[in-house]
Amino acid sequence: MLTILTSVSTLTHRAAAEEPGTPAPEFALPPQVSEPYNPPPPPPEPPFVPDEVPTAPEGLPDVVAEPMIPPAPELDTPNPDSPPAQSFTSIDDFDDPRVPRFTRQRPYLAFEFSGSLRAFKDRGALAGTQPIRAITGSIHIQPTFTQAMGIFSFGPAVSLYPFLPRLSATPSGFSIWGAGGQVQYQARYFREQILVPVVGYTAEMMQYKFSDGPKGQLTTKGPYFGLYLLLNALEPRAASDFFANHGVLRSYLVAELRNLEGTDANLTLGGSSVYFGFRIEH
């Protein structure tokens, strides 16, 4: 009996659900409404705890870290391949940082080496002998405080006068030599002046000894005139390397005309002589 009542109730409810407009049974489940999802809040961050400063062992002083100093910025250096335009040699011009360093500095010392294939045109008693050659080396001290008005210099010089290619007139190639000094002025008014006129005066005590016996000494002296060719302006990169490696500020090719004269009881020398050489300035 109970089974029959249960089946009838089930069929009744199913028919009511299938018919339109039939209200739902009282025991129907209420409609479900979805709520928005709220994630849980993140866990709180732990409090900041500074690192412990290491201390020195007991009995030793604590090491205090020095503050880091950032390096100074590098300054732009001028390109030696692009020499600046020529300008008058003034104090401000030489202190201009835009000008390459080896052209801004004033040289204070110079070394010059030159030679001549015919040292004395007039040789008196030696007129019938072989030509006298000349090899000369000199040191020039150049005060920097006068270089705004040109370059004055002075210093010692040593010369050797061999009879080449044969030495029949003298016992050796060192039989005629001289030592003395010179003063000189360069008409240099521009920083990169390519041609520099030169005028100077030289004097030296010459010692001589010949194979046939005469020997002695005499003083030769006289003015000289010259022209220097600045090699820095022709090869600025090589000039920059020469300065960096050897401290040479300027390099010149030298051409000079010397008028030296001297006489004693055995020998008379004089006339003009042409010298060619090389000069470097520090």
Q: Per residue in 218-239, pLDDT tens?
A: 999 999 999 999 998 888 888 7
Q: Does domain 100-281 have CATH number 2.40.160.20?
A: yes
Q: Per residue in 147-156, pLDDT tens?
A: 888 999 999 9
- pTM over 0.85? The answer is no
* pLDDT, greater one: 148 or 70: 148
pLDDT at 166 over 50: yes
Instruction: Place 111 in a pLDDT band, splitting at 50, 70 and 90.
Output: very high
Task: Retrieve residue 166's tokens.
Answer: 């044969």
Question: What pLDDT score was predicted for residue 28?
Answer: 53
Q: Are 83 and 250 in contact (CB under 8 A)?
A: no
Distance CA 76, CA 97 (A): 10
Q: Cα angle vertex 19, ends 16, 25, to 5°? A: 30
Looking at every residue in the chain, the average pLDDT score rounds to: 77
Distance CA 149, CA 90 (A): 9
Question: What pLDDT score was predicted for residue 86?
Answer: 44
Q: Which residue's entry shows tokens 């008005």?
A: 149
Question: What pLDDT score was predicted for residue 219?
Answer: 93
